Structure 1
Amino acid sequence: MVQTKNEEKGIAGCLAALDDFDEVIVVDSNSTDRTAELAKEAGATVINFTWNGKFPQKKQWQLTEIETRNEWLLMLDADEFPTPELARELRAIAEDPAESRVAFDLPVAYHFAGMGLRHGHSVVKRSFLRRGLNEFRNIDLLHLPGMGEVEAHYQPEPRGPVGRTTAKLVHHDLDPVRTWFDRHNRYSDWEAFIRMDPRTRENVRGSKSSQGRRFDRVPLKPLVFFLYSYVLRRGFLDGRAGFDYALALSVYYWQIGLKVRELQRGRAEAAAPAVSGAAAAASVPARSGEADHA
């Protein structure tokens, strides 16, 4: 199941990697380019999605509203595709009658600015889900600035054990690198507002992996992340691409911290006039005769 919106540049490559899958569904959000047309030409079933501005958002809507003949769903973005090894591994999982796990985390082979990364920071994406046993829970993020039809980056919650594949999911965005910075500027807005709201932050923290929860508490995140990705995880072995990626994500964490401080300063300035006004009123001496009527 592939979710799209104006993805004509990458949809053909994504669907070509799914050629051996017996059912391919593209969930398109009113694309104005040739995404839906190209998907149909590739043999996919195209279902349109129009968001009503409420929960569920697009991923949860796919889990609950789209009928499919398969028990297992591979949920992808148009810039992702399984390697042949991953496709075979997923098929074996789906065909195993003794399989008791209800979801699988897929290690991601990431490309940044057109370059493949083999080292440094890496992520897993919980994308292979047994129908009816996973949920993108509503963790109350729709009030965040710029939040749209797709859930923020958090994992679906399983009702059962979770596995992890050996083979990898490829993430290869064909858009210019400026779009990466555009997205992460928006993501940093979300993160800053989340950190200013203790209840929302706790909801988000509960949806993260144990690694994500630990990193959420780390001080000096930009520096710590760069050292972790580029040095400890040997991102330097990817050459300039490894340096660029580690630095770009470090700047992302710096953006979050800077925006949090801006929000904190704004709140303090908004509260200051009320406090100052009350103090000034208290310090004004009563006019003659007013004390007698108090």
Structure 2
Amino acid sequence: MPDRPLDLTVAIPVRNEESNLATCLQAIGTDFARQVVVIDSASTDATVAVARSHGAEVVHFDWDGRFPKKRNWFLRHHSPPTAWVLFLDADEILLPAVKREIAEALPHSPHQGYRLTYTNYFLGRRLRGGYPLHKLALFRVGEVEYERIEEDAWSQCDMEVHEHPIVSGSIGFIRHQIDHRDLRGIDSYMRKHNEYAAWEAHRLRASRRDPEAVRTWSRNQRLKYRLVTTPWGGLVFFFGSFFLMGGWRDGSVGFAFAVLKSAYFVQIACRYRELQQPQRLQG
């Protein structure tokens, strides 16, 4: 660990996260980053009290259904005074090994951002196989923003989830995993992915009218949306997740995870096709 806090702000977007936030903040500690900020969206539980009791700064965000969402809003209106910012969810735990690796990487880094890798949980179990979970969530302040997508309240997602940071420079990789302890259960999983699928379908339709936006897509985004618009996207994802990426190692849990993820692709395709229809038949 560094002798003094890193020139880093850890920003944690939240809404009703009292059950997760304390563990997240405890893992960050007081000597890792110069600043820890909790960005709250009108929580009705004890989230804000938990944040303040652990010494985090709290800022409040109210979304109007349009750009910017929570992360870009924070970068624009509460720009961190540090050189780096790390966006962390309340159910993501910074283990000592990943903190040490970040501390070694940042002081003399040649990169504009870092891709982070995460553990994955499903049905209360940490998965050994399936597609790896990774995000570009650590980058230089003032040089990077998330994609600008001009949506009109497509969903209740007030935070960037599938919008990727736009990075013009080089990207490094943090090898050690952040522990993503999403243990909310299957109801939460289904609600979340229903909402994500609705948003992705609207985003895909909007992109067909804006070729400039497509130019900023990452390679993975291009592949995903190309698959979504074919009849075989869900099947391809299932085969890749369960067989190629070792989902079979998790047995029936890995099988269920791959099935639901493939169903997510199919749902996006169906929602996109529905949006393409000029009007619905009236009964």
Determine if contact 1:139/1:200 at 8 Å carries over to the other structure.
Answer: no
Report the counterpart of residue 224 of structure 1 in structure 2: 236
Determine if contact 2:66/2:153 at 8 Å carries over to the other structure.
Answer: no
Measured in 2, the distance between the counterparts of 1:240 and 1:249 equals: 14
Measured in 1, the distance between the counterparts of 2:266 and 2:65 equals: 30
Give, in angstroms, the shift of residue 214 of structure 1.
2.1
- Structure 1 residue identity aligned to 2:169: G
Query: Residues 141-220 of structure 1 correspond to what in structure 2 (within 5 A)?
Result: 142-143=151-152, 145-199=154-208, 202=211, 205-218=214-227, 219=230, 220=232
Report the counterpart of residue 128 of structure 2 in structure 1: 118
Measured in 1, the distance between the counterparts of 2:279 and 2:179 equals: 45
Measured in 1, the distance between the counterparts of 2:211 and 2:137 equals: 23
- Paired residues in the alignment total 267
Report the counterpart of residue 88 of structure 1 in structure 2: 100
Task: Give the gaps of 5 or more residues in structure 1.
Answer: 271-294
1:175-196: CA deviations, max 9, x gaps?
2221111011111112223333
* Structure 2 residue 260 is the aligned partner of structure 1 residue 248: yes
SS in 2 for 1:217: helix
SS in 1 for 2:176: coil
Measured in 1, the distance between the counterparts of 2:125 and 2:211 equals: 35
Segment drifting more, 209-218 vs 164-173: 209-218
- Structure 2 residue identity aligned to 1:267: P
Report the counterpart of residue 48 of structure 2 in structure 1: 36
Measured in 2, the distance between the counterparts of 1:200 and 1:85 equals: 45
The equivalent position to 1:5 in structure 2, one of 15, 28, 33, is 15
1:45-80: CA deviations, max 9, x gaps?
222222344422210122222254421111111111
Note closer, same or farther for the CA distance 1:9–1:139 as it changes in structure 2 (3 Å cut).
Answer: same
Give, in angstroms, the shift of residue 198 of structure 1.
4.6
Determine if contact 1:235/1:243 at 8 Å carries over to the other structure.
Answer: yes
* Structure 2 residue 133 is the aligned partner of structure 1 residue 128: no
Look at both structures and tell me which one has the larger radius of gyration over its CA atoms. 1
Determine if contact 1:194/1:200 at 8 Å carries over to the other structure.
Answer: no
Determine if contact 2:207/2:214 at 8 Å carries over to the other structure.
Answer: no
Give, in angstroms, the shift of residue 118 of structure 1.
2.1
Determine if contact 1:60/1:135 at 8 Å carries over to the other structure.
Answer: yes
Segment drifting more, 184-193 vs 25-34: 184-193
Normalising to structure 2: TM-score of the pair? Answer: 0.86
Note closer, same or farther for the CA distance 1:154–1:204 as it changes in structure 2 (3 Å cut).
Answer: farther
- Structure 2 residue identity aligned to 1:80: E
Report the counterpart of residue 291 of structure 1 in structure 2: none
Note closer, same or farther for the CA distance 1:18–1:33 as it changes in structure 2 (3 Å cut).
Answer: same
Measured in 2, the distance between the counterparts of 1:133 and 1:182 equals: 34
Measured in 1, the distance between the counterparts of 2:143 and 2:204 equals: 30
| More strand by percentage | 2
Task: Give the gaps of 5 or more residues in structure 2.
Answer: 1-10
Determine if contact 1:144/1:193 at 8 Å carries over to the other structure.
Answer: no
The percent identity for this pair of structures is 33
Determine if contact 1:194/1:201 at 8 Å carries over to the other structure.
Answer: no
Measured in 1, the distance between the counterparts of 2:211 and 2:179 equals: 31
Note closer, same or farther for the CA distance 1:216–1:50 as it changes in structure 2 (3 Å cut).
Answer: closer
1:24-50: CA deviations, max 9, x gaps?
111111211000101111121222222
Measured in 2, the distance between the counterparts of 1:251 and 1:212 equals: 18
Segment drifting more, 83-92 vs 220-229: 83-92
Normalising to structure 1: TM-score of the pair? Answer: 0.83
- Structure 1 residue identity aligned to 2:57: T
Note closer, same or farther for the CA distance 1:200–1:194 as it changes in structure 2 (3 Å cut).
Answer: farther
Report the counterpart of residue 58 of structure 2 in structure 1: 46
